[in-house]
Amino acid sequence: LINIMEHKQEARNPFFRVVDLTDTTEDPALWGKNFPMQYDGYKRTVDQIRTRHGGSEAIARTPTQVDPRSVVAQSRLEEDPRLKTMWAGYAFAVDFREERGHAYMLDDQTFTERQQVVKQPGTCMHCHASVYVPYKNLGGRDLIKGFEKMNHMPYSEARKLVSHPVACIDCHDPATMALRVTRPGFIEGIRALKASQGIQNYDVNAMATRQEMRTYVCGQCHVEYYFKGPEKRLVYPWAKGLKIDSIMAYYDETEFKDWTHAETKAPALKAQHPEFELWNQGIHARSGVACADCHMPYKREGALKISDHHVRSPLLNINRACQTCHKWPEEELKARAETIQERTFRLRNVAMDALVDLINDLKMVRTADSTNSALATAQQYQRKAQFYLDFVEAENSTGFHAPQEAERILGESINFSRKGQVALRTLLTGK
Amino acid sequence: LINIMEHKQEARNPFFRVVDLTDTTEDPALWGKNFPMQYDGYKRTVDQIRTRHGGSEAIARTPTQVDPRSVVAQSRLEEDPRLKTMWAGYAFAVDFREERGHAYMLDDQTFTERQQVVKQPGTCMHCHASVYVPYKNLGGRDLIKGFEKMNHMPYSEARKLVSHPVACIDCHDPATMALRVTRPGFIEGIRALKASQGIQNYDVNAMATRQEMRTYVCGQCHVEYYFKGPEKRLVYPWAKGLKIDSIMAYYDETEFKDWTHAETKAPALKAQHPEFELWNQGIHARSGVACADCHMPYKREGALKISDHHVRSPLLNINRACQTCHKWPEEELKARAETIQERTFRLRNVAMDALVDLINDLKMVRTADSTNSALATAQQYQRKAQFYLDFVEAENSTGFHAPQEAERILGESINFSRKGQVALRTLLTGK
Amino acid sequence: MKIQSTVTVFLSIVVGLAIGVGSYTFIYAKGGSYLTNDPAACANCHIMNEQYDGWLKSSHHSVAVCNDCHTPPGFVPKYLTKAENGFWHSFAFTSGDFHEPIQIKERNREVAEKACRKCHQEIVDAIEAPHGEGEQISCLQCHREVGHP
Ligand SMILES: [Ca+2]
Ligand SMILES: [Ca+2]
C-alpha cells in the first residue's frame, strides 16, 4: 500500500527539487540529491565487466607514488604486441589500455604512463574531466576563452583546476535538465561539418533536435581529434566530412602528423576513438538510433521510466538496450553483435599483419639505403594504411557501429600496406 | 462496387481447378489455367528494366543464324574490360552478360557465345530449363538416373529434350501445389552440407520447413557449382560448409580447377552466382527472411494475397518487397540498398585493380623466366584472389545479401593479390 | 453566373455520388463498424486483418482496443476522426487506390503518439518533464509494435 502511494507521489512529481542547481554547481552528488536514481546509475560506472570485445577487466596492481591506482583495465599492448610496432616512437607504444567506465576517466588520464613519457597540454582535459565550470571561470564566463586558456597550460597545471570526471553539468542545463553541448571541440567541429554541407553558423545548442542531442552529448568526446598548431587547440577534423576518406584528405591537405614513426620515419597519424564518426556511417544512425538509446536505455524504477546513467556496453544490458526494437532472444542478439565483431576482428588482424610487414620492409630498406627514393612513397602508404587500420582498431565497438564500413576501411588499409611493400620492391628491382 | 463484390467472392473461392495437373504436366500454360494470376506474373519475367546495379537493360541486336535473339542484356565485359583479364583463356572472357528474367534462361544459355567456343555437357541444362519431366523420362521415372544420363550428353543433344525455361512443375507438387525441390544438385548438395553439420541422410523434401523451402527452391540454381570428374556431374561444393573459406578449402583439397589462366598459367576457378551462399551469411537469412519474401513478395489481387511470380529485382517493387518489414519510405529503402551496393562496388574495384596488377606482374615474370620458383606461389595467390573477388562479383546483389561479409571477402582478395605481387618481387630481390 | 451554377451542379453531383457511393460502401462493407469500439468490427475490412491478427497477440490485447490508439480523446474529436478515417478508408477500399502496405499518415501517427501518453503519462513523466512543452521524444521509435507488429 505504502508502495503504491509512494509510486503515485513519484509519478505526479517525478523529481523533488531538494537543492537549487545553478550553472556553477559542479559536484554530481548535489545534483544527485534532486535526481537520486540517475545519480545511482552514474556512480555505477565504476563496475568493470568484460564482454567478448568490450567492457573491461579489473586488473589489480600495486599502487606506487607516481600511480596510486590499485586497479586498472587490461593492457591492449600485451594482448596484441603488434600495436607497439604500429606506434613505435609514440607514447601509445608505452601504455594503452582497454577503456573502462566514466568514473575512471580523470584518474586514467592523470596516471597513464603516456603522461610520463610526453609532456601533455591542458587541452587533454577537455574530455576527461568536468571542465564546464573551470572553463567558465578561466574565461571570465566565456566558455571558449576558458577553453583556449586551458589548452595553453601544461597538463599538470590544468589538472589542478578540475576535480570530477564528466559530470551532470557537462550534459545538462541545470535549470531545465535539457541536454546541452558544453564542449568547444564539438561546438566548433559540428559547425565546420555543417558548413561543408552548406549550413552556415550552425549553433548546436539552438538547432539540434532532442534526438540528435542524445548523440551529440556523447560526440563531445567519443571522436577523432588532433591538437592544432602551437596553441594546441583541440580540433575535430570534420571540415570535409565525417567519412574516413574526408578526414584523411583533411590531414593530408594540412600535412598534419601526430609523430614520426621511430622505425620508418613515416609521418604517422594516430586515430582515436572515432565512435561518433563510424556510427554515422551505420544503419543505426541512418535509422535515427542515438548513442543514448543503446548505452543509456530507459529503465523502469518504481513508477517511473528513467535513462540508465550507468553508461556501459549494451551487451551487458541487452533486454533494455536492444529488445525494445529487436524482438529476438537475448542470446541471439548477442550472437548477432558478436558475429559482426568477429568478422571485423578477423580482417583487422589481416590488416595488422600487412602493416607490420610493410613496417619491417621499410626498416630493412632504410637500413640498407636511407636515400632510396622509394622510401617516401612507401612511407606515405604506411601513413594511410596505419590511419585506416587504427580508425577501426581505435573505434571501440569492434565494427558494430557500422559493420560494412568497418570492413571497407580495413580492406583499403590492406591495399595501402601491401602496395607500400610492392613499391619498395619495385624500386629495388627496377620493375 | 463491383470491386467489393469481387473481393468477397474471391475470398471465398480462391482457385478453380479447371485442368487436371499431373507429375508430367510440363507446360506452364496448362498450370496457368488453374492459377491464372501466378501465370500472369510468371510471364512478366520477360520485362527488362535496369536498377542501379541490377535488373537488366534490353539491348537490340540483329538476329543471326547462330543466334536468333533480337534482344539481349547488356555486356558486362564491355562495362568492365578488366573482367577479360581475369578470365583470360576461359569462355567467360568471350561473352558475359547481365542476367535477366527467367523467361530468357533457356535462350540465353543456348545462344551465348560461350557455347561457341567450348563444347558444353548436358549438365548445363539442370538450371536453365524445365528438366523435371525430361529427367524422369530419361531415368525411367528415376530422377537421379535421368540427371546422370543427361549430364553425359553433349549440350546440343540434351537441348532437344527440353522445351521450357524453369516452369511450375520445377518448384511445385502438382497435386498439392506445395513447394518441392526437384534438382539433384541441390538435393545432394544440401545433404552433404547437413552431413558436415552432423545431420545424416538429410532429405530436403521431407525435412525442410515451409519457410526454408521458400529459399531452397531458388537455391536449386542460384548457387556456386562445378562439374565433377569425367561424368561431368553437377556438384555444389558445400561438403565443408557454405562460407567462401570452406568452399575454397574444398576446391584446394581436391585440387580442382575450372581452367588454366591463359596469361599466367594459374590453376583458376570461376565463381558463379553464389546468391544462396552469400545470403546465408547475411542478417536477412539469420532473421529467417527467404528469397521469395523479397523476390516473390505477396501481392494483393482483389481479396487474395498471392505470391508475385514476376521474379525480379526487389528494388523495382519496394513497397511489397521491403515495406512489409521496414516502415521507411520507398526512396529511403532504395537509398539504403544502394548505399550498401556502392560500398561493395567501390571495394570490388580496388580488388579488381589489385588482381589485374598481379596478373600483369605474373605475365611479365613468366616471360622473363618461366622456371622462376616464385611463380607457383604467385599463381596460388592469383587463384585465391580471383575466386574471392569473383565470389562477390558473380554474386548478383552487389553485396546486399550480406554486406559485411562481401567486404570481408574483398578485403581478403586484395590481400591475396598484393601478397602475390610481393612474393614475385621478393624472389627477384632475394628479400 | 452561368459558370458558377454549372460548377455548383457539377459539385452537387460529385458530392452526391460520393455520399451515395460512400454510404453504399459504408453499409455494404459494414462501415458502421467504424462507430463501435469492437476491434473485430475494424476487421470487417479484410484489409485490416493483419493488424487485427497482430493485435490479438499483442501486449495490449487485453488493455487497449483499436480506437484507444487510433482516435483522440474526447467525444467530438473522436467521432470527427472516425468520420474522416471512415470516409477515406471506405473510399480507398472501394476504389482500391491506396498504398500497400498501408502506411499510417502523419495525422494519425500523432493521434497514436498522444494515445500512448493518455495511458502512460505517469510513467513517462520523468523522461518528458525536463523538456516541458518542448520537443517530445517519439514513443513509436522504440515501441511501434506494441499494438500490433
Ligand atoms: Ca571498454
Ligand atoms: Ca540482372
Pairing of strands B233-235, B226-228: antiparallel
Alpha helices in C59-149 (DSSP H): 66-70, 75-95, 106-128, 140-143
Global pTM?
0.93
Beta carbons of C125 and A304 less than 8 Å apart: yes
Minimal CA–CA distance to A260: which of A88, A83, A81? Answer: A88
C-chain residues within 8 Å CB-CB of B6?
Answer: none
In whole angstroms, what separates CA A79 from the centre of its chain? 20
pLDDT in tens, B311-332: 999 999 999 999 999 999 999 9
C-alpha cell at A278: 563510424
Within 8 A of A399 by CB-CB distance, chain B residues are 404
Q: Minimum mean pLDDT among A38-52, A131-145, B266-280, C48-62: which range?
A: C48-62
Phi, psi of A177 (to 5 degrees): 70, 5
Q: Per-residue pLDDT averaged across B251-280, rounded?
A: 97
Q: CA A244 to CA A22: how far, in whole Å?
A: 40
Q: Give the amino acid at A72.
A: V
Question: Which ligand lies nearest to the CA atom of residue B398 in the structure?
Answer: 2
Confidence class of residue C5 from pLDDT cuts 50, 70 and 90?
low
Query: Residue C70: what residue type?
Result: H
Distance of CA A417 to the CA centre of its chain: 25
CA atoms within 13 A on the CB side of B151: 20
Q: In the predicted model, what is the mean pLDDT of residues C99-118?
A: 91
pLDDT digits (tens, 9 = 90+) for B185-214: 999 999 999 999 999 999 999 999 999 999
pLDDT at C10 (0 to 100): 54
Q: Is the dihedral of CA A42, A130, A290, A51 positive or negative?
A: negative
| DSSP-based three-state secondary structure for A5 | helix
CA distance B177 to B5: 27
* pLDDT band with cut points at 50, 70 and 90 for residue B424: very high
Across the interface, of B1, B303, B319, the residue whose CB is closest to C94 is B1
Q: Tell me whether residues A336 and B412 touch, CB distance under 8 A.
A: no
Pair B347, A412: CB distance under 8 Å: yes
Residue C6 has pLDDT above 50, yes or no: yes
Tell if the CB–CB gap between A176 and C131 is shorter than 8 Å.
yes
Decide if B277 contacts B224 (C-beta within 8 A).
Answer: yes
Residue A304's SS3 state is: strand
Measure the CA–CA gap between B314 and B292, rounded to whole angstroms: 10
Strand residues in A104-204 grouped as ranges (E):
none
Mean pLDDT of chain B: 94
List the single residue in B350, B399, B429 with the smallest CB-CB distance to A411: B350
Q: How many other CB atoms are found less than 10 A from the CB of residue A424?
A: 25
The whole-angstrom distance between A319's CA and the closest CA on chain C is: 13
Residue with cell 601509445: A92
Q: How far is B246 from chain C (nearest CA, A)?
A: 38
Ligand showing the shortest atom-to-Cα distance for residue B102: 2
Q: Which amino acid is at C121?
A: Q
Q: d(Cα B180, Cα C17) in Å, to the nearest integer?
A: 51
Cβ <8 Å between C46 and B11: yes
Which of the four pLDDT bands, split at 50, 70 and 90, describes residue B408? Answer: very high
Distance from CA of B394 to the nearest CA of A (A): 19
Q: Which residue of B has its CA nearest to A400?
A: B404
Beta-carbon contacts of residue A385 (< 8 Å; ≥ 6 apart): A351, A354, A355, A358, A413, A414, A416, A417, A420
Q: Give B-chain residues touching C103 at CB under 8 angstroms.
A: 323, 327
B319 closest CB neighbour out of C24, C28, C99:
C99
Instruction: Please tell me whether the interface predicted TM-score (ipTM) of this complex is above 0.90.
Output: yes
Q: Is the pLDDT of residue C9 over 70?
A: no
Residues of C with CB below 8 A from A304's CB?
122-123, 125-126
Query: What is the rounded average pLDDT of the residues A373-383?
Result: 95
Q: Which region holds residue B140: left if phi is over 0, alpha if psi is between -120 and 50, else beta?
A: left
Å between A305 CA and nearest CA of chain C: 6
pLDDT band (50, 70, 90) for residue C1: very low
**If DSSP states are collapsed to H, E and C, what string results for chain B?**
CHHHHHHHHHHHCCCCCCCCCCCCCCCHHHHHHHCHHHHHHHHHHHCCCECCCCECCCEECCCCCCCCCCEECCEHHHHCCHHHHHCCCCHHHCCCECCCCHHHHHHHHHHCCHHHHCCCEHHHHHHCCCCHHHHHHHCCCCHHHHHHHHHHCEHHHHHHHCCCCCCHHHHECCCCCCECCCCHHHHHHHHHHHHHCCCCCCCHHHHCCHHHHHHHHHHCCCCCCEEECCCCEEECCCCCCCCHHHHHHHHHHCCCCCEECCCCCCEECCCCCCHHHHHHCCHHHHCCCCHHHHHCCEEEECCEEEECCCCCCHHHCHHHHCCCCCCCCHHHHHHHHHHHHHHHHHHHHHHHHHHHHHHHHHHHHHHHCCCCCHHHHHHHHHHHHHHHHHHHHCCCCCCCCCHHHHHHHHHHHHHHHHHHHHHHHHHHHCC
pLDDT value for A179 = 96
Residue located via cell numbers 541422410 = B201
CA angle B250, B255, B256 (to 5 degrees): 80
Q: Give every CB contact of residue B214 below 8 A, 6+ residues apart in sequence.
A: B179, B290, B291, B292, B293
pLDDT class of C126 with cuts at 50, 70, 90? confident
The mean pLDDT of A1-9, rounded to a whole number, is 41
CA distance linking residue A75 with residue B427, whole number of Å? 38
Backbone angles phi, psi at B306, to 5 degrees: -125, 165
Contact B419 A418 (CB under 8 A): yes
pLDDT band, residue A371 (cuts 50/70/90): confident
According to the model, what pLDDT value does residue B369 have? 85
Q: At what angle do helices B143-152 and B184-196 cross, to 10 degrees?
A: 110
| Interface with chain C: mutation pick from A21, A209, A289, A324, highest number of C CBs within 10 Å | A324
CA distance A212 to A291: 9
CB A218 within 8 A of CB A275: yes
Question: How far is the C-alpha of A73 from the C-alpha of B345, rounded, in Å?
Answer: 40
Lowest mean pLDDT among B112-121, B207-216, C12-21: C12-21
Report cis status (omega within 30 of 0) of the bond before A230: no
Contacts of A106 (CB under 8 A, 6+ apart): A128, A129, A162, A164, A165
Helix axes B244-253, B374-393, angle to 10 degrees: 140
Residue A351 and residue A413 in contact, taking contact as beta carbons nearer than 8 Å: yes
CA distance C15 to C23: 12
Q: Is the Cβ pair B324, C94 closer than 8 Å?
A: no
- The pLDDT of residue B182 is above 80: yes
Please tell me the predicted confidence (pLDDT) of residue B270.
98
Q: At what angle do helices A403-429 and A330-368 cross, to 10 degrees?
A: 20
The pLDDT score that the predictor gives to residue B358 is 98
pLDDT beyond 80 at A389: yes
B268 pLDDT more than 90? yes
Q: Are strands A233-235 and A259-260 parallel, antiparallel or unpaired?
A: unpaired
State mean pLDDT over B127-147: 98
How far is the centre of ligand 1, averaged over its atoms, from the C-alpha of A99 (Å)?
Answer: 4
CA separation (Å) from C80 to B147, B381, C72, C116, C128?
Answer: 67, 72, 9, 20, 29
Which residue does chain C place closest to B11, by CA atoms? C46
Please write the tens of the pLDDT for every residue from A172-212. Answer: 999 989 999 999 999 999 999 999 999 999 999 999 999 99
Q: Report the distance separating Cα B102 and Cα A25, nearest Å.
A: 71
Which of these, B290, B242, B278, lies nearest to B407 by C-alpha position?
Answer: B278
Name the closest residue on chain A to residue C123, using Cα atoms: A304
CB A241 within 8 Å of CB A193 = yes
First to last CA, chain C: 55
Burial B373-398 (b: 16+ CB within 10 A, else e): ebbebbbbbbbbbbbbbbbbbbbbbb
Grid coordinates given for A74? 587490461
pLDDT at B176 over 80: yes
How many angstroms is it from B56 CA to the middle of ligand 2? 5
- Residue B3 pLDDT more than 50? no
Instruction: Give strand pairing partners of B235.
Output: B226
Cell 530419361 -> residue? B138
Q: Which residue has the cell 532532442?
A: A210
CA distances from A367 to A10, A339, A350, A371 (A): 72, 42, 26, 10
Nearest CB neighbour to C25, from listed B4, B319, B320: B4
Other C-beta atoms closer than 10 Å to the C-beta of B125 total 26
Residue A1: pLDDT band by 50, 70, 90 thresholds?
A: very low
Q: What is the pLDDT of residues B328-346, one digit of tens each?
A: 999 999 999 999 999 999 9
Cα gap A359→A421, rounded to integer Å: 9
Q: What is the pLDDT of residue C131?
A: 64
Maximum C-alpha span of chain C: 63
Look at A275-279, B4-8, C138-142 and tell me which has the smallest mean pLDDT.
Answer: B4-8
Contacts of B317 (CB under 8 A, 6+ apart): B297, B308
B contact chains, 3+ CB pairs < 8 A: A, C
Tell whether the model's pLDDT for residue B13 goes beyond 60: no
Averaged pLDDT for residues A253-257: 96
**pLDDT tens across B367-406, in order?**
988 888 889 999 999 999 999 999 999 999 999 999 999 9
Ion ligand 1: residues, CB < 5 A:
A 54, 56, 98-99
Closest Cα in chain C, distance from residue A210 (Å): 7
pLDDT of residue C114: 92
- Least confident among B32-36, B58-62, C12-16: C12-16
Per-residue pLDDT at C32 exceeds 60: no
Does C33 score more than 50 pLDDT?
Answer: no
Across all residues in chain A, what is the average pLDDT? Answer: 94
Nine-digit cell string for C73: 480523446
Q: Which residue of C has its CA nearest to B302?
A: C96
Q: Rounded CA gap, B28 and B168, in Å?
A: 6
What DSSP designation does A398 have? T
β-pair partners for A172? A179
Kindly state the percentage of chain C with pLDDT values over 90: 29
Chain A residues 360-389 with CB within 8 Å of chain B: 364
